[in-house]
A and B are shown apart, each in its own frame.
Chain A
Amino acid sequence: MKPTPLSIAAAIGVVVAFVRVFFFTPTEAIQGLAQKIYYIHVPSAWVAFLAFFLVALTSALYLALREDRLDRIAESSAEVGVVFTTVVLITGPLWGKPIWGTYWTWDARLTLTLFLWFVYVAYMVLRSAVEDRDMRARYSAVLGILGALLIPFIHLSVYLFRTLHPMPILGKPERPSLPNEMLSTFIIAFAAFTLLYVALLRARYRYAVERDGVKLPEGD
């Protein structure tokens, strides 16, 4: 597949963000180098949630409109979302170990992220387990919608679980009010990752189109 202007822009954006993170952004005084993970971790988490939101939205629209395109977008977004959630789940513990003193705690947000990963990996397994294209689209749309309904319940139950049963963990660092240089780096990273998401989504979508043997209208 030829690189598109969008994917080139996303690649440049990510490179610029990384160069800025490592060479032009001050190291945080207390957390040291570990804090640099912030610029990957938080934008990835944002992208993951954005991706799953799009899955739910296109799933609901699919059931209403029965446009195959919507199913392909949901499929692509779920897969890209799982990749970014995996990044979040890998960078999080790496950051947590030096700062919190532990790789993992059953904090509400961490647990929610883990279960989102489970739900959308199950979504991918479900897709691979159904042969019929129409049935696959309907089944995965149902799961895509129910998955979104599940999010507040997991968050709330784990959150209550944590507050009613406090466990001694090292205090979660309050997010510092970022100095300007850090903030601008963060915004660049944020924009670069969002662009990367759109580029990956588009590439994955085009793959789905080719696989399904559909002719794209010009300029799509």
Chain B
Amino acid sequence: MPSLRRSSTCGIARWCRPVGSLFRDALLIARKDLMIEFRTRSAFLAVLVFALLGIVIFYFAWDVTAVSAADLAPGVLWVIFAFSGLLGLNRSFAVEKEEGAIDGLLASPVSREAIFLGKALANLLFVLAVQVIAIPAVSFFYGLPLAGVAAPLAAIAVLAAIGLVVVGTLFSSMAANTRLSELLLPILSLPFFVPIVIPAAQATAKLLSGRPVGDALPWLRLLLAFDLLFVVACTLAYPFTIEE
């Protein structure tokens, strides 16, 4: 469909697009993805069960007498989120590959940046929904009262989820077009998850051991810096991954 393809000369105009319409388009894309997910629910249930199984398996790989639950839980949580996030992200562009839906998406009058942000937003809500169930599950299975640290823990969870999702969405778009697709996504993403998992697990550990929230602040700043840089970098990089 060459007539509908954006020519490279309108690059400047694309940058000048009002930010408002960028976000409006992104919300539309996100709504589309979430609606597909809501109607089938297959991915969400699968990922949720995977996360819960992970939490349970970790318990049995753990020497209860040697390591306290508060020491184990942060690592378990963030390893589970990193891996279950990958499972969900694989699906993000696999949906578009089926029957060439991506061509229709690219031909629609929506900028590539908006497609990326919309996809990332849908994935973010997906990961957050998993967290909303998995974090209380950890509290339940490991006997950890989380009520007192709910607000700062939620902040860590959201900041970390943003980082995981933007990097993962970009690589998911790339991996979907390769021969190794499902295998390639973790290989590409996991090195990028390290600077998210370390601060998130460390900040969670600070909270669970009853330290003041201020002790977790350096880690939160690191997460925030990662999010800001990679949201911008991945949004700018995305159009390069879908040129015909």
Residues of A participating in the B interface, judged by any CB pair closer than 8 Å: 63, 115, 118-119, 122, 125-126, 129-131, 135, 138-139, 141-143, 145-146, 149-150, 153-154, 156-158, 160-161, 164
Contact of A129 among B170, B184, B233 (CB under 8 A): B184
Please, which residue of chain A has its CB at the minimum distance from the CB of B225? A153
Taken together as a complex, chains A and B put the C-alpha atoms of A141 and B167 apart, in Å, by: 15
- Residues in B lying within 8 Å of A, measured CB to CB: 167, 170, 174, 177-180, 184, 187-188, 190-192, 194-195, 198-199, 202, 218-219, 222, 225-226, 229-230, 233-234, 237, 240-241, 243
> Is there an interface contact between B195 and A138, defined as CB atoms closer than 8 Å?
no
Q: How far, in Å, is A180 (CB) from chain B's closest CB?
A: 41
Contact of B240 with A138 in the complex, beta carbons under 8 Å:
yes
14 A-B residue contacts at CB 8 Å?
A63-B240, A115-B191, A118-B191, A129-B179, A139-B174, A142-B170, A142-B240, A143-B174, A146-B192, A146-B233, A146-B234, A150-B191, A157-B198, A160-B222
User: Do A126 and B191 form a contact, CB below 8 Å, given A142-B237, A149-B233, A158-B198?
Assistant: no
Contact A129 B192 (CB under 8 A): no
CA distance A139 to B194 in the complex (A): 21
Interface SS, A side:
helix
Distance in angstroms from B157 CB to nearest chain A CB is 17
- Which of A126, A130, A131, A141 meets B240, CB within 8 Å? A141
The reply to whether B174 and A126 form a contact with Cβ atoms under 8 Å apart is yes
* Cβ–Cβ < 8 Å partners of A160 in chain B: 199, 202, 218-219, 222
Q: Which 3 A/B pairs are nearest by Cβ-Cβ distance? A: A153-B195, A129-B178, A129-B180
Who on chain A is nearest to B197 by CB?
A157
A170 CB, min distance to chain B CBs, angstroms: 24
In the bound complex, residues from chain A placing their C-beta under 8 Å from that of B243 are 138
Closest to B184 in A: A129
> In the complex, A150 Cα to B190 Cα: how many Å?
12
Measured CA separation A129–B178 after assembly (Å):
5
Task: Kindly report which residue of chain A lies nearest to residue B167, judged by CB atoms.
Answer: A146
Contacts A135-B177, A157-B194 given: A125-B184 contact, CB under 8 Å?
A: yes
By the criterion CB–CB under 8 Å, are A125 and B187 in contact?
yes
Rounded to whole angstroms, the CA-CA distance of A122 and B180 in the bound complex is 12
Alpha-carbon separation in the docked complex, A150 to B189 (Å): 11
